[in-house]
Structures are given as C-alpha cells and as structure tokens.
Amino acid sequence: MLSAARIALLSALAVLAAGLAVVGPGSPAQAAAVTPTATTLAASASRINFGDPVEFTATVSSAGPAIDGGTVAFRSGSTVLGSAPVVNGTAVLSVPTLAVGSYRVTAAFSGTSDLLPSESGVNGTSPIRTIAGSRTPGFSGDGGAATSASLNYPSNLAVDAAGNVYVVDNGNNRIRKVAADGTITTVAGTGVGGFSGDGGPATSAQLNNPYSVAVDAGGTIFIGDDGNNRIRKVDAQGTITTYAGTGTSGFSGDGGPATLANLRVASMAIDAAGTVYFTDQGNGYVRKIAPDGIITTIAGSGTSGYSGDGGPGTSARIRSPYGVGVDAAGNVYFAEISNHVIRKVTPQGIISTYAGTGVAGSTGNGGQATLARLSTPGGMAVDASGNVFFNQFGTNQVRKVAPDGIISTVAGTGTAGYSGDGGPSTSAQLNDTEGLAIDTAGNLYLADSSNNVVRRVDGPVALVVAAVPTFTTGPTATITGTPTVGRTLFAGVGDPAPSPDSYSYVWYADGVEITDNTSSDPQALNLTPALAGKDITVEVTVHRDGYTDASDLSDPVGPVAKATFTTGPTATITGTPTVGRTLFAGVGDPAPSPDSYSYVWYADGVEITDNSSSDPQALNLTPALAGKDITVEVTVHRDGYTDASDLSDPVGPVAEATFTTGPDAVIDGEAVVGGTLIATPTDLDSTTPSADSYAYSWAADGQAIRGASGPTLTLSENEDGKTVTVTVTATRAGYTDATDTSAPTVPVASATFSTGPTATISGTAQVGQTLRAGTGAPVPDPEEYRFAWSADGTPLAGATTPTLRLTPDLRGRRITVTVTAARAGYVDATDTSAPTAAVVTDRAPSLRLTLSVPSSSQDAATTPDGQPTVRRGRTITLRWTSSNAQSLVAGGELADLLRARYGTRPIPAAGSVRVRLTHAGAHAYRLRAINETGTTTATTSIVAVRRPTRLSVETTATTRPGRTIRIRVTGLGYRERFYITVNDGHTTTRVRTGRANTTGNLTRRITIPRTIDTTAKTIRVRVTGRSTKRAGAALIRLR
C-alpha cells in the first residue's frame, strides 16, 4: 500500500494542482514552420465474415481549411492493407476481402510540404474497458478470470511481448500477471510484507510495498521493491534475486555495481538494450543500470529545484521525479510531479523540458506541449512511435504528447470516479491513476489505483474477420525416417480435431517446394540425389467440409546425407610393367552400379599428369616411368552417393626395354702417334630401334684413354706402343644401353718432357680446409698427373688426388705434394712442392666452469637478483673442463687459487679446487681457454652472506611528504645491494636502491613520496639487503 510519505506528497501536490504555480522554464519554443495534423480512423464494421468487404475511413484535420493532398496508408501491424488520397479531409479505403483473423488497423497520413504527417491511435475516441479487478479491494481470483479478481491498490504495470500484463498489487505485496487469455496469477510475493527469498522461487519471496514493475525483451521481470529499497529481478525460470540496492535508504554507489548502491525507486523503464532506467524519487535523481550492472545518474544534481535545461542532465535541478519512459532512440522522459513538467534527457545527456510550463493546471490541448499546463504528472509510458503518455494526479486524466510536440487528452473526464467502460476513453472517469503501459499493438493500459482495477484503452481499430468453423486442434506436422539419399521420409499429422476428411502434404527442400516427388504416396517423400545436403520440411494441411483448412509446418530434418556404396571399388592393375607397354586398371564389382568411374595413376606416389593414353583406364608406360612403381586410384561416382575410392597395390618397378639390334663398333684410320682414328657407327639408325645417342670410350691396351669420348681419337705419345679399342654405347630413353667393343688396332707405332711439372700448393693450412695441388704447365701436355701428399716428409696413405682435406690429426704438421706428369711414350716427370706452414686448428676452445655447494649446507640459497648464496665460512668446489685449448689462464680470485695449486705448471684441461669463503660478499671466478683460433672465457660467482641480523637504521624523527631526509644504515654485507621502501600503513613505495660500502654501511638521502596517506600519523622507512636478506626499519612521525 502507499507509504505515509508518499500519501503526504500526493496530498500536497493535489493542493498545488488546485491553482498554485511554480517557477517554470523560459520562453516557449518557436512555432514550427509547418502545420500539425491529426488523423482518426473508423471502420464500417468491427466484425465481418470472411469474403465480406470492409471500408476504412481516415479523417485528417488541421487548424487550417479542409485538407486536399497527401495520402493515407492503412496498416495492420507491418502489413499494408492499401492507401488512398486525402480529398476534403477524408481518405477512404475499400478492401474487398481479408484473410480470417484479427486486425489492428491504423491510418498514417503522409504529410505534405506544409502539413506534418500524423497517425491514428490512442487519441481520446478509442474505447476503454476494465481487464482486471472487481473494484473490491482485497486479494482473490488467482487461476480465474482477472476481471473477477480482487486487487488492492494496483500502483503500476508492464506488458511483455506476448501481451501478458504484469500488475503491482501494492496493498497485497505481490506482483500479478494477467495472461493474454484473461487469466490472473501471482508471479512474485507471498502477500506478507518483508524481505526474503533471493535465489528461490519468486512466489515464495517476501516483498515490502512494491510500487513499480518493468519487463525486458526476454521476459525478465524487474520489481521496484520500495519498502526494501531494492530492485528485484525474476528470471524466466521464476527465480528471484536482488538486481540493485543494498536495502538501505539513501543515495550512493554511482559508477559501481548496482547491488552496492543505496536508492529509493519510484518507477522504472527498460530500453531495447536491457538498460534499466528508474526515478530515485526519494533522493531526487533519475538513474540507470547498464546491462553489465553498473549504476549511474543521468539527471539530477542532488539539489531540489527546477533548472538546467540545455545543459547536462546531471547538472540540472529537478523536484520529485516520478514516472519514467524511454523511446526507441534512447531518449529518456520523466515526470516531475512537483514542477508540473515532463523533462527529457537525450542519449548525449542533455536535458530539456518536453511538456509543461511549470505552472499547475490542465490546458493546452491541440497545441505545443511546452506551452501547456500540467497537473502533477505521474506515471509514464512511451509507445513505438514515440508518443509520450502520462497521467495527471491533479485531474485524474491521461495525456499524450505526440512526436511533433502536440499535446492532447486521451483518457479521463477530469472528475474522479469510475465509469465509461465500453465508451470513449475521454468520457470515462478515473480515480488516482498511478502507472501506465503500452503493448506492442499500441493499446494503452492504466493502473486505476483507487478504483482497484486495471483498464485498457484500445489503440488501433480492431477488426475481426470470422470464418466458418475452425479445427479445435490443428495438425502437428512431424517427419520420421532417416534423411539419407535412397531412403523415404514419412509425414506425421498429429491428432487434429475434429477428424479431418482428408490431408494434403507439401514437401520442401531448404524452403523450396519439391515438385518431383517420385513417391506415389504424398505422405511419403523418396529422397533423390537432388535433395542431398538440403533440410527437409513438410507442411500438413487438414481439410473438412465446412471448416477452414488448418496447416502446420514441421521442424526441419537433415541436411539429407548422401548414400554410401555398399561395396566400393577394388583397384587392380593388369599388364606388363615395361617401357612401351600399357597397363590397365581393374575396378572390382562396386554396388550399387556407379554412374561413372575416374582414375588417377601414380608413379612412386606422384600423380602422372601426362598419360598419353586416350583411355583414362589405361596407362602408356613412357621412358620417364622407368624404374618407378605404378599404382592407380579408382573412384566410383553415383548421383546422391558419396564417392568411394580404392588405391591398388603397386606394380613395378617399370623395366627398361632392350635393343633388338645393337651397334657394331669398328675403327678406321692409321694407328700412328698424331694420327686420327675414326669410330663407327655414327648413324643413329644403325640400331633397332634407333638410338637417341651414342657414347664412345677409347682404350689403349685395355685402359681407358682420358678425355677420349668422341667418335674420333687423335693419337698422342700416350698410346705409343699400345693397341687401341673403342667401345660404342647406344642409348635410348627407357631402354637398356647396348654396347659393343671394336677389335684392337695394331700397336701404336716414340722423348722427354721439354718442360716438367712445377708442384705448388694453394689453400689455407687449417684443419677443415682443403689444399689443392698445382702442376705448372708441362710441355707437351701430359695425359695424366699423379699426386702424392706428405706431412713433415711422411707420405699420407691414400692421399693421391689433386686435393687434400686437412683433418685434426694433421694439426701442427707441414704439408708437401709430389706431382708426376705422365704421357704415353714419355718419361715421367716429377716435382715436389715447398712445405706449407704448420697446420692450425679450426675450432675455438671450449670451456665450462661450475661451482657447487656441499649438500650439507642447508643455508645455500639465492639472492633476490638470482645469484647463488652460501653462509660465510662454508667451502665450495670449483670444477672446470676444456677442449681444443693450448693453454688455460685464470683471473680474479681463481688466479690466486690455481697459482697456489699448480705454480708455474700449465693449468690442466680439467680439474677442481675447493675454496673456503672467509669473507662475506660477492666472489667472482674467471677462466680463459686459449688456442690459435681465439679465446673462450667462463665465469661463475657466489655471494657469501653473514648470519641474518637486523640492520641499524638511523634517520630524522619527523618529516612531511615531499621532504628529503638522510638515512644511515649499518649491518649490511660487503658491498651488498639494498633497497629502501616507505610504508604509510596502506601502500609501500620503493624510493631508492644501491650498494653498501665494503664495511656494509651506507648513508643516503631519500625523498618522502607526496602520494603517501597524509592522514597517517607515522610512516615506516625500511632498508632490505638483497644478499643477506637483512632488514631494518625506522618510524618517522608525520607533521
């Protein structure tokens, strides 16, 4: 029920409405440049039979003469019924027939160059009726007709997308729902005032003086639980939770979660995005809760008054905000009952006066709303067209401001009472109308609070097109069967009532009617290949003589899957795998029979793309395929079936063919030094089949003559005294070479080199490099060179080539090469090169230096900087290993240790040494490995720490933020790193880092941060050693 404070407020406002004025806004807005219009609509009947015509008459009026021009569009929802021109202020549309059903018809005038457009709707002439409440205060009726139920001061209401009306039954501490069929139930509240139930069913929860309600697009219900200083939420499952408010009255929480905010909600509205707007009447604000739960203020400065138009809403003074609404563009409207105005806040946050002058009264109908007087405006609603509706507590009327700014009265006579159901809404008496709501059809709902009823003003013109009897239960279309090509689906019809005379079926694939169903039974659909991949639906229509057909479309099944071969192909290969022959692919016995086959041939697994066979089932074996294994992949295809493939076993490798007649090698010419011998054949057609080419290989006494590879040979001294033969090899792609060797010639019928060889070596004498022997320029040209490599004069076994790769075993040795020039008929000539420099290595030395702490040293750890630590006095072990080093050189502390160990002797390639750490601080060790290639250095370190003790920290007794003070510290380790922090009891700030001196002491200046909490009485300055982990602190008093 109404709180005492709210009753007192409304009583005071009623006094103001009687004639007291308040300070209003400035001068009225400038008049529009075009003339406003108004459109009303009437129908020739409210109920007709199917097939009967109906006539709609729209009257378009303005302040000027009768209107000629423009058009009126007649709509029912989003369906355009037609349009007609405006002649002498009237547009008439005759509709010959309409489908059976209910229609909500509106008329929309298009406007002209000097006339504004307008649309019919809730305009004062629409009928009003009661939809809930018996006028007797109390609680009864759940589960029955809402008009027979008792309500107790319904204070507010909301309508969801399905047309369900939610009523705040204030006096019963409940939220009730009037379903579209007129049945009333309770959806929240037990009827006992209090706070309980969060997390459970809303019908088991206690509410305390609920005063407002709203519902979002998803059907979630929001309740203004006024007495609990909360907004409660009921989800689709009926579970209630707290959405905003702590339960404590007051104002707080902006910028944070709404559940942590203090508030006092009067009315609510929700936009399409799910943002909840509410008037925080008790605090004088309009606030919003974003979908993420964050609460902010959009209007009101916290000071009661009337100011701020044209500026930010949060800087404006407002007084007693009550009703609130939001349009599709995101503009928020709210009623200030004490200022007698409607204010508007744009999405950009700018506030303005939308209606009212600030002086109490009820004037201005037909003119601009900003020039009209309002009388304590309260509840609000905004329809989809942007019409703003509000009730006037002072006159018991409901008024409307159209999008063009024109104000009118749409319900109430101005006299309190209860009358008028069935007649025009402006002829009805209302009594203390608190809340308003608009449904998606444009109907206006009123919480006629003191009459304990909910009433509705019809918006669009209602028309019912009746039909012959209809099925009480229509068909329920379903589909059974497996959606696979080759299978059959069957349509189910449900249990329509009364029993149909017949059924008809229309099958669809992806929404397109199937016109080529091969089934003789229309209730069945044979799934053909053309339907593969598509979703199938069926529309079932039932027929009965004298009844209107009833239809239902099934849910889709699918997509239709392709069928699979029951037996796939079996790929085989027949034929001889030899170049020049043809292989054939076998397919096996796939089932069902394929529409077609495809073949892919492979050589060693790579697809063959240049098959010269015109039959894809055959493969001509070309020379390019010689030596390769052949496979074939057979794929079968059938419309509506998934392809099936099989890869054959390989055959091969493909063998080369052989010549049927090879070459006949013959030598012509005189066998003398300087003479020329000629080999035959040279004609490619001398073999069968013809050769692609011939290769010639000459030999003397059976030994190949170097470089002699042509059909002619010029005899040199090298052949002196030897018999010569030639071997002719015929080659053809895909064929095995055919060879023939000629009969030998007579011995070739003989000098020293006039210039012998000059042996030289080029290259770098380094392991991994290759040396190359130089021969000089002997005369005449030798036919052969022989090479013998030596290291320090010792022959190297097997080193008889012109090059020598230097291996690690040759490191430090000097290399020579002996070159021998040979030419048949000539005495061999020999020369030995000068030695190289000693061979050097190619690898830098490797080196590893590690330290270890005995496992018994339980105090081993690491510094905050990651260095290992151990207690001073402990013994550690240093170990090193190296390779490819000529010498090792120690540095740092390690130099003294190893000098004591080895004296002047070389440091060994691997070893270890134990070290006792006698003083605290960092200990670093360095070792270098050196050879002729370079130097490799390894280092390691450890920090020896003292037993932890507290540091001594001395500083000033008092200071203030921003001041610089001196700090003296003793007790750190040898050149130990440290850091200094300042703590004010809440925040710790690091202000300095550094390193102590060799005695572990330091004196530093630090600056006290200006950001510390100045309310703190003392601060703590703390010094921490990174190695020893010692810490000390001093307290300083702030002044």
Distance CA(976)–CA(944), nearest Å, equals 10
pTM here is 0.44
Strand duo 174-178 + 165-169: pairing: antiparallel
Region of residue 669 (left: phi > 0; alpha: psi -120 to 50; beta: else): left
Phi and psi (nearest 5°) for 259? -70, -10
Three-state SS annotation for 181-223: CCEEEEEECCCCCCCECCCCEHHHCECCCEEEEEECCCCCEEE
The answer to whether the CB of 853 falls within 8 A of the CB of 876 is yes
Looking at the DSSP bridge assignments, the partners of residue 257 are: 294
Residues with Cβ within 8 Å of 885's Cβ and at least 6 positions away in sequence, in order, are 845, 846, 847, 909, 929, 930, 931, 936
Q: What is the pLDDT of residue 733?
A: 86
**Alpha-carbon distance values, 707 to 355, 699, 710, 711, 712 (Å):** 113, 11, 9, 12, 11
**Alpha-carbon distance values, 313 to 296, 326, 353 (Å):** 12, 15, 11
Residues with Cβ within 8 Å of 637's Cβ and at least 6 positions away in sequence, in order, are 594, 595, 596, 597, 598, 643
For residue 999, which of 973, 979, 1024, 1019 has the smallest C-alpha distance?
973
In this prediction, the residues of the chain whose per-residue pLDDT falls under 70 are 1-33, 125-126, 468, 750-751, 825, 855-867, 946-949
Distance CA(400)–CA(386), nearest Å, equals 10
3-state SS class at 332 = strand
Strands in 550-553's sheet, in edge-to-edge order, are 512-513, 502-509, 536-543, 550-553
Strand duo 267-270 + 572-574: pairing: unpaired
Token output for 818? 């002996």
**Alpha-carbon distance values, 778 to 184, 279, 830 (Å):** 123, 114, 10
H/E run at residue 893: helix 893-902
Distance CA(862)–CA(594), nearest Å, equals 76
The answer to whether the CB of 882 falls within 8 A of the CB of 844 is no
For residue 380, which of 151, 125, 156 has the smallest C-alpha distance?
156
For residue 354, which of 324, 328, 383 has the smallest C-alpha distance?
324
Q: What is the pLDDT of residue 6?
A: 46
Domains, the chain, ordered by start:
37-119 (2.60.40.10), 127-465 (2.120.10.30), 477-561 (2.60.40.2700), 564-647 (2.60.40.10), 657-741 (2.60.40), 760-832 (2.60.40), 848-945 (2.60.40), 952-1037 (2.60.40.10)
Residue listed under structure tokens 């809440």: 986
Token output for 736? 């095995």
Phi and psi (nearest 5°) for 43? -120, 150
Cα-trace Rg, the chain: 53
Burial of 691 by CB count in 10 Å (0-12 exposed, 13-18 middle, 19+ buried)?
buried
H/E run at residue 774: strand 770-774
Distance CA(34)–CA(12), nearest Å, equals 40
Burial of 572 by CB count in 10 Å (0-12 exposed, 13-18 middle, 19+ buried)?
middle
Distance CA(726)–CA(849), nearest Å, equals 68
H/E run at residue 269: strand 267-270
Single-letter code of the amino acid located at 1029: K
Strands in 267-270's sheet, in edge-to-edge order, are 267-270, 276-280, 285-289, 295-299
Phi and psi (nearest 5°) for 278? -150, 155
Which DSSP letter does residue 177 get? E
Q: Measured in whole angstroms, how far is the alpha carbon of residue 151 from the centre of its chain?
A: 51
Instruction: Work out the end-to-end distance of the chain between its first and last CA atoms, rounded to an integer number of angstroms.
Output: 57
Which DSSP letter does residue 7 get? H
Residue listed under structure tokens 């705040």: 168
Q: What is the pLDDT of residue 466?
A: 80
Residues with Cβ within 8 Å of 769's Cβ and at least 6 positions away in sequence, in order, are 763, 805, 806, 842
The answer to whether the CB of 484 falls within 8 A of the CB of 561 is yes
Looking at the DSSP bridge assignments, the partners of residue 851 are: 878
Token output for 514? 């199937």
Distance CA(341)–CA(331), nearest Å, equals 16
Phi and psi (nearest 5°) for 574? -120, 155
Phi and psi (nearest 5°) for 170? -55, -50
The answer to whether the CB of 1 falls within 8 A of the CB of 207 is no
Q: Angle at Cα 250 formed by Cα 244 and Cα 254, nearest 5°?
A: 55
For residue 1033, which of 969, 984, 987 has the smallest C-alpha distance?
969
For residue 209, which of 4, 8, 394, 13 has the smallest C-alpha distance?
4
Find the DSSP H helices in 595-684: none
Token output for 620? 């001509």
Looking at the DSSP bridge assignments, the partners of residue 15 are: none
Residues with Cβ within 8 Å of 27's Cβ and at least 6 positions away in sequence, in order, are none
